[in-house]
């Protein structure tokens, strides 16, 4: 359990460095800050189990309020006892209305955690386009 705690610290540090410092969901449950959400998810998963299956972390990289467009990011996360948490894939979608149909999407598979794009990079790839005035 001590090693798991260190691995949680490493994942939290990585996501904070990349700009993802808001609230998360683990497999669409347990809303809260990353540490709280992940802890609740692991407490449920590890009851009688020793293996942590892959799961999804969800957060918003662009959020103003419920009536504004937003960018939602889903991280597919795996756990290895020796190496800690690894992010395998990132899915991002830009949604502008309550129909929940994305206007733009982005998906990337990562070779290592260092390849994780920053929040700003993801927002620039799928977020609102800046309009320029043509003269």
pLDDT at 134: 65
CB 27 within 8 A of CB 38: no
Q: What is the pLDDT of residue 131?
A: 65
Give the global pTM: 0.86
Task: Look up tokens 């540090």; give the residue.
Answer: 13
Domain boundaries, the chain: 2-126
Question: Is pLDDT above 80 for 20?
Answer: yes
DSSP letter at 97 equals S
Q: How many whole angstroms separate alpha carbon 113 and alpha carbon 104?
A: 24
pLDDT digits (tens, 9 = 90+) for 25-49: 999 899 999 999 999 999 998 887 7
């Amino acid at each position: 359990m001590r090693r798991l705690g260190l691995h949680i610290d490493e994942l939290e540090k990585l996501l904070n460095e990349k700009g993802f410092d808001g609230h998360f969901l683990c497999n669409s449950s347990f809303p809260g800050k990353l540490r709280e959400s992940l802890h609740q998810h692991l407490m449920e998963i590890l009851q009688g189990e020793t293996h942590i299956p892959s799961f999804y972390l969800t957060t918003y990289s662009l959020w103003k309020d419920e009536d504004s467009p937003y960018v939602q990011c889903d991280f597919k996360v795996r756990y290895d006892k020796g190496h800690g948490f690894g992010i395998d894939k990132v899915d991002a979608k830009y949604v502008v209305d309550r129909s929940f149909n994305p206007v733009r999407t982005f998906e990337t598979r990562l070779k290592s955690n260092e390849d994780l794009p920053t929040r700003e990079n993801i927002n620039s790839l799928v977020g609102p386009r800046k309009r320029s005035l043509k003269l």
